[in-house]
Chain A
């Protein structure tokens, strides 16, 4: 433990170094000329540490800066928080495939809640349609059709399998990230620090579930549609060149709420809760229902369980 004086000294030194870098960078931009300066390059963002290396004060600074930035951009009161995991909580998700009718209400509830780009289109949840008959021979994920377009659902002799991030216990995506921009938090949510994502898409190649989406273009959400209740590692606006995916609605669940997809489901097929609580809904279904996870042979240990209700 360092004495308060040493601490203070370190902070002063840290601040002056940051000041120096800022001045140097501003100088460099000025030298490079007007076009660079006109872009209003965000030096604070450029120099921002990885989320896991930031002190509480540094996180607060970032939250404050981003809240102000987004409030100005969207012309409404936006709050960005970084609420941490609860003690003794590991999240699990259950989906009753005997109930799902493939209506895609969850997909669009997710888009709205999590500020996914409308144009170019990004959707975290993908609902696959399968032949019921084919399933008796075992599901091949490649046979799933996400583009079905019927008058009404469920279509005859079909069943539906919505997919998003499985929040694997042994997540291949986080293992391959070269910058440490994605990791699994203590409550099991696999999160992304968008400021540290360099867009190499190794994680997308590593993910066996196709859960991760890439911003090929500048994402686009209108001020009217933006959800102002944001989490730093969740639904805050992304930029071009970064990867995004389902965060179990981190901005909701860490405040005790259900995820948006669950609340949108008209048939009540979606279940969510604390895997460490023996009385939770998720533990009940793991105990009493036939459950399975996708691609269990890969030993990713997903925390997203499908079950027959």
Chain B
């Protein structure tokens, strides 16, 4: 075989060099791309962010308790004409529709016998209805400490900056303090009812 025909094993298709260079070029791009993409996992704490807001720490504002029920207030509208009766008893004619679930307390433990528009503390000092938290916290001292620290009760607004908090009677009915059950929001869908194209109702999913 002395012919000059190319060795089949040495055969290169036309444009072979160009293809090689293109592949090599792509490889370089990919390698460079990968090395520049991969960042280390630790956050760069020296990174200068566009803005760093600093709000002042300020004292929280106590929101006023909800307004009193017009049906009962002012108390003296009815009680003015009634002779006061200090004897502890079950109420029969008036206020009998109210739930009373507050330990062994009865009306005059908190309400004042002589001044119907006021409450009284254990030492007989009178307090306004708006300041009833002073009365509650005579017994619930631990709650008072937590409430002052913002850990009992609800606060809204800013964790740093202006915020509001609420007095006991904003959330608790003083005559029946336990939090009342309420209707929950709807449950989440089950995985089989969520598709990439959208939510599927259970009935539809089984058809």
Roughly how many angstroms separate A288 CA and B144 CA in the complex, as a whole number?
13
Partner of A101, one of B54, B182, B195: B182
**B74 contacts the other chain (CB 8 A):** no
With A120-B199, A180-B38, A285-B151: A101-B181 Cβ-Cβ less than 8 Å: yes
- The answer to whether B184 and A257 touch across the interface, beta carbons within 8 angstroms, is no
On whether the beta carbons of A50 and B39 are closer than 8 Å, the reply is yes
Chain B residue with the shortest CB-CB distance to A118: B199
Interface with B: A31-39, A69-77, A142-150, which one?
A142-150
User: Are A281 and B171 also in contact (CB < 8 A) when A59-B50, A183-B43, A257-B159 are?
Assistant: no
Main secondary structure of the interface of A (DSSP, over half): loop
List B residues 163-194 near A (Cβ within 8 Å): 163, 171, 179, 181-190, 194
CA distance A274 to B161 in the complex (A): 13
* Cβ-based interface call for B158 (8 A): yes
A contact residues around B51 at 8 Å (CB): 81, 83-84
B interface: dominant SS: loop
| List of B residues within 8 angstroms of A185 by Cβ | 43
Residues A274 and B160 in contact, CB atoms below 8 Å apart: yes
User: Can you list, as one digit per residue, whether each of A46-89 has a CB less than 8 Å from chain B (1) or not (0)?
Assistant: 00001011001001100000000000000000000111111100
Residues on B with C-beta less than 8 A from A208 are none
Q: What is the 8 Å Cβ interface bit string for chain A, positions 89-119, against chain B (1 contact, 0 not)?
A: 0000010100101111101100000000001
Q: Do A217 and B198 contact each other (CB < 8 Å), given the known contacts A126-B188, A268-B154?
A: yes
CB–CB A216/B195 < 8 A? yes
Closest Cβ of chain B to A100, distance in Å, is 11
The 3 tightest CB contacts between A and B, nearest first, are A84-B49, A268-B154, A217-B196
